């Protein structure tokens, strides 16, 4: 599939999809506390998404059974919410959420500490977020796609963290996953030329230890192979002639 350039009308719909998803994330972030089950997070997220008149785009996506991906500690992404998975003080939890507004998708992820967490865990969360902002400094019309990948890698590698290579960011629009794929690690080529009107989900997934990941028997949950903590930070962005517009963060 070719990379799509969104029209002014489509961009307005993407903006609204992003604005509503930011509200969902903010409300979920405030709800996180020790003792909460990961299923409760999913139930609240689905209620919020539907309450805004939107559709949870993850639900039933390739058979994924929930609306919010909830990934705890060494879980990288795509954790399946469960009633018996209870958040404990000191855990870190990644929430990945998305919705469809009038046919247009948004996608964003945040990692939170549950109660008081270790300084090392907080640093992983903070630097994962920072790496997203380093990456999108390069996200403008005329630059190349892998300028983003290279900038994320150059920033995060300083800390000795492992950049997950088996999962990548992506274009987004009338579908959750559109071309192009956006790796978070350095590339030898330049990649396609970025153009104003492209909408992209940039999403570094960073392990405190090695970059290798494994899939659990539920066929969804991705974990760090060495058991180290993992953080995820994602926003849907719009390429412009200048600074990118972050659609899922105001
Ligand atoms: N944000 C996730 C991604 O871009 C979407 C999760 S897909 C699901 O891959 F099926 F797990 F919902
Ligand atoms: Co995504």
**pLDDT tens for each residue of 43-68:** 999 999 999 999 999 999 999 999 99
The C-alpha angle 15, 78, 208, rounded to 5 degrees, equals: 100
Asked whether residue 101 carries a pLDDT value surpassing 80, the answer given is yes
Pairing of strands 75-77, 222-224: antiparallel
Indicate the average pLDDT of the chain: 98
Q: How far is CA 219 from the centre of its chain?
A: 19
What does the CA dihedral 242, 198, 65, 250 come to, rounded to 10 degrees?
Answer: 20
Asked whether residue 134 carries a pLDDT value surpassing 90, the answer given is yes
pLDDT band at 94 (very low <50, low <70, confident <90, very high): very high
Asked whether residue 74 carries a pLDDT value surpassing 90, the answer given is yes
Confirm or reject: Cβ of 61 under 6 Å from ligand 1.
yes
Average pLDDT, integer, range 95-106: 99
Task: Indicate the burial class of 213 (C-beta count within 10 angstroms; 0-12, 13-18, 19 or more).
Answer: buried
Asked whether residue 2 carries a pLDDT value surpassing 90, the answer given is no
Distance of CA 107 from the midpoint of ligand 2 (Å): 5
Residues 160-219: tens digit of each pLDDT:
999 999 999 999 999 999 999 999 999 999 999 999 999 999 999 999 999 999 999 999
Distance of CA 99 from the midpoint of ligand 2 (Å): 11
Asked whether residue 86 carries a pLDDT value surpassing 90, the answer given is yes
The atom of ligand 1 lying closest to the CA of 107 is 1
User: 59-92: b or e for each residue (b if 16 or more CB lie within 10 Å)?
Assistant: eeeeebebbbbbbbbbbbbbbbbeeebebeeebb
Average pLDDT, integer, range 107-114: 99
Helix, strand, or coil here: 237?
strand
Confirm or reject: Cβ of 96 under 6 Å from ligand 1.
yes
Cis ω on the peptide bond leading into residue 202 (within 30° of 0)? Answer: no
Q: Are 50 and 78 in contact (CB under 8 A)?
A: no
Distance of CA 234 from the midpoint of ligand 2 (Å): 7
Asked whether residue 1 carries a pLDDT value surpassing 80, the answer given is no
Nearest to 154 by CA among 175, 137, 142: 137
């Amino acid at each position: 599939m070719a990379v799509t350039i969104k029209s002014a009308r489509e961009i307005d719909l993407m903006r609204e999809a992003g604005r509503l998803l930011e509200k969902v994330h903010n409300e979920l972030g405030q709800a996180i506390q020790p003792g909460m089950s990961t299923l409760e997070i999913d139930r609240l997220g689905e209620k919020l998404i539907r309450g805004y008149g939107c559709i949870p785009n993850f639900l039933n996506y390739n058979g994924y059974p929930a609306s919010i991906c909830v990934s705890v500690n060494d879980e990288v992404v795509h954790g399946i919410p469960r009633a018996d998975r209870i958040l404990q003080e000191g855990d870190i939890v990644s929430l990945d959420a998305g919705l469809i507004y009038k046919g247009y998708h948004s996608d964003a992820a945040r990692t939170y500490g549950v109660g008081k967490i270790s300084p090392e865990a907080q640093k992983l969360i903070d630097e994962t977020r920072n790496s997203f902002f380093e990456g999108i400094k390069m996200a403008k019309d005329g630059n190349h796609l892998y300028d983003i990948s290279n900038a994320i890698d150059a920033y995060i590698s300083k800390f000795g963290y492992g950049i997950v290579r088996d999962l990548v960011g992506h274009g987004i629009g009338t579908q959750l996953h559109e071309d192009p794929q956006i790796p978070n690690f350095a590339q030898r080529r330049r990649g396609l030329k970025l153009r104003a009107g492209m909408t992209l989900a940039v999403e570094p997934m960073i392990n405190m230890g090695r970059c290798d990941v494994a899939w659990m028997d539920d066929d969804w949950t991705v974990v760090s192979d060495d058991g180290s903590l993992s953080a995820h930070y994602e926003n849907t962005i719009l390429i412009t002639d200048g600074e990118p517009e972050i659609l899922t963060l105001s």
